[in-house]
Structure 1
Amino acid sequence: MKYGIIGAGAMGYRYGVMLQENAGVEVDFIDTWEPNVEKVRELGGVSVARDHENRRVVPINIYYPEEYQGHPDVWIIFKKQMQLDEELARDAKAELFHDDQYVFSAMNGMGHFEKIAQYFAPEKIICGTAMIATRLDGPADVDFMGEKGAEVMHLAMYASKSVPSNVTEFITDLKKAYLGPIVVEDYLGMCMSKVVFNAVVNTLCTMFEVQMGQFIEYEGVPQMARQLFDEAYDACERAGIYLIETRQEEIDSVTTTSHALKYHYPSMYQDFSKGRPTEVDYINGYIAKIGREHDYVCRTHEFVTQQVHLAELMRKYH
């Protein structure tokens, strides 16, 4: 199969490069960040390291939407939630989307599948989550975090529990790429499991500006995690959403993942540290929204969301 990556950022590069190099498939990258596109063209590819070591330039094909003439079988979308509407509108205007194409996304937060469904039929949408840590340190400068082969992701169809044959081929390519795909039936429970994990690790690491390994040094982390997870699970259960992991499994994953990715700054911190808006409204704020819609106030998530926005505002004084 042929793939098109929309959003040549940290995760877009991760998926595209691993598919290209390990699965031996054709991959094109679409991006709208001019410094990134021009740096790739200057270098002849993207500069890739793993855990800060063995940096090399991987040749890739990169295009602005308006100049792209290809026809991928599957689009893979990795954009920030706040940028997605504008990106999809620009890509649609450039006539990149076609009825025979599938689309996959494993973006952080929630709300993106409804936006994608404005351009693709529901049965063509593949939902995903990725427990895969990656850093974008600058234009065309990416660092794959974690040991090779430790990548884990989940996927599910947006509109059905059965997987079409074309999607089975996509899953095979993901396996060949060593991206660790696990297929589940319920996309909503799958996605919310990742959202509530990020609502603890991404958000708290950002608030205290620490790496995951530094964060987990505090012995009170499991208790903090339980408070946030209990609120999230209570809200989801009232909404009829049942996560694919138990509360205790989520708590345990905070510890194991933080140790495994001890040198990683989560993506929310990467945005925060560079003065960009964070996705907290699509993570903790989304959990709080589910609660409010079902007569349950997630007081800690409400408070944490406001704290992150306060920290964003206070950057102007530093």
Structure 2
Amino acid sequence: MKYAILGAGAMGLRFGVLLQQAGYPVDFVDTWKPQVGTIRKQHGVYISRDGKGRHLVKVNIYSPEEYQDHPDIVMFEPKQMGLDEMLKRCKHFFNDKQYAITFMNGMGHIPKIDKYFDKSHVIGGTAMIATVLNKAGDDNFIGKPGSGSCHICKQDGKPGKVTKELIKEFQKANLNPHYTTNFIGMFLNKLLLNSVGNTLCTAFQCNMGQFISSPASKPLSISLINEAYDVCERAGIHLLNDRQTEWQNMYHAAKYAMPEHYPSMCQDMFKNRPTEVDYINGYIYRLGLKYHYVAHNQKMAIDLVHLAESLHKIKK
């Protein structure tokens, strides 16, 4: 199948380059002019792995208005705050035969995508894959080839021919897909991981390994995890993992899988971009309020990140 990756950032490039290397046609569409201009000027994107082996990979990239093709799969990978603009500027090449898939962090994107694609053609996904965009046109894949994995679930819970074909192609691209039938639970489990590691590393401007090496990391993490599970139970949301497994996954990711990694939220702050904390911890906090539960730890985490953002700008 042919793919259009909407949002050629760190993760968009990783998915697209791996699919392209597996033999599938891929186009990239981005609204960030420096990214489009740089990749065109250097005739591709520079890819390294764990900071080594930097090499140029030829790719096709367009601004939304320039792109006129009709891909089979439209993959959404912008930041949450950029999705509305991306949808509006790309709607001219959407059609009712296409399938939309997204691995965006946070929550709030699915209802927006549903306005442009039938729910039977919308596939959600979460990824345990770390990548760093060093600068425009330069992406660093974290982890050995074949490392990382992703979960996929069709919104209507009915995986058909296209979904099964997509999973096969993702397997060939070494993206290690796993299909689940729990659409909302899949998103919330990843959201919970991000609400701990992403948020606390950003608040204290440290990488995953530095965070997990502190004795304070466990009680801080467990307090956020437990509170999030309390919210989900009140909302009637069944998660893929139990509380203990969620902490163990968090610990393993920080301690062994990606100790040198600065989460995407932290990367955004370092580059003076808005963070997605209001779409991650903020979602949990607002969901709690809906069910008359005040998630005080989530609110404090949100405030700590916004404080860190303000202090970082002052230092600059």
TM over 0.5: yes
Residue aligning to 2:20: 20
Q: How does 1:107-146 map to 2 (within 5 A)?
A: 107-146=104-143
Please say if residues 272 and 313 of structure 2, whose CA atoms lie closer than 8 Å, have aligned partners that are also in contact. Answer: no
For 2:229 and 2:299, locate their aligned partners in 1 and report how far apart those are by CA, in whole Å. Answer: 15
Q: Which runs of 5+ in 2 are unaligned?
A: none
CA contact (8 A) 1:36 1:139 kept: yes
Where in structure 1 do 4 or more consecutive aligned residues deviate above 6 Å?
Answer: none
SS at match of 1:71: coil
CA contact (8 A) 1:209 1:269 kept: yes
1:229 paired with 2:228, answer no
TM-score, normalised via structure 1 length: 0.97
**Alignment match, 2:287:** 290
Could you tell me how far 1:317 is from its partner in structure 2? Answer: 2.0
Following superposition, the deviation at residue 86 of structure 1 comes to 1.1
Alpha-carbon distance in 1 for matches of 2:272, 2:64: 26
Deviation at 1:47, TM superposition (A): 0.3
Q: Whole-Å Cα distance in 2 between the matches of residues 243 and 225 of structure 1? A: 17
Q: Is the 8 A contact 1:206 1:272 kept in 2?
A: yes
Q: Which residue of the partner structure matches residue 239 of structure 1?
A: 235
Structure 2 counterpart of 1:65: 64
> In 1, distance between residues paired with 2:174 and 2:284?
31
Equivalence map 1:81-160=2 (5 Å): 81-92=80-91, 95-158=92-155, 160=156
Computed over aligned residues only, the root mean square deviation of the Cα atoms, in angstroms, reads 0.9
Q: Which amino acid aligns with 2:85?
A: E
AA at the equivalent of 1:40? I
Matched, 1:54 2:53: yes
Inter-partner Cα distance in structure 1 for 2:69 and 2:157: 30
Deviations 1:73-123 (A, max 9, x none): 00111011011111111111xx11111000000100000001111111111
Which letter maps to 1:122?
A: K
Q: Return the letter of the residue paired with 2:44.
A: G
How far apart are 1:293 and its partner, in Å?
A: 0.3
Per-residue deviation at 1:315?
Answer: 2.8
Read off the aligned partner of 1:63 and give its amino acid letter: Y
Shift of 1:135: 0.4
Q: Distance in 1 between matches of 2:141 and 2:52?
A: 10
Structure 1 residue 68: Cα displacement: 1.3
User: Does structure 1 residue 201 correspond to structure 2 residue 200?
Assistant: no
1:9 aligned residue: 9
Measure the CA separation in 2 of the matches of 1:49 and 1:243.
Answer: 35
CA separation in 2, counterparts of 1:34 and 1:198? Answer: 28
TM-score, length-scaled by structure 2: 0.98
Aligned-residue identity in percent: 46
SS in 1 for 2:93: coil
What is the Cα deviation at residue 146 of structure 1? 1.3
SS of alignment partner, residue 214 of structure 1: helix
Gaps of 5+ in 1: none
For residues 240-293 of structure 1, the C-alpha deviation after alignment (integer angstroms, 9 at most, x for no partner) is: 111101111110011111121011110000001111110000001110011000
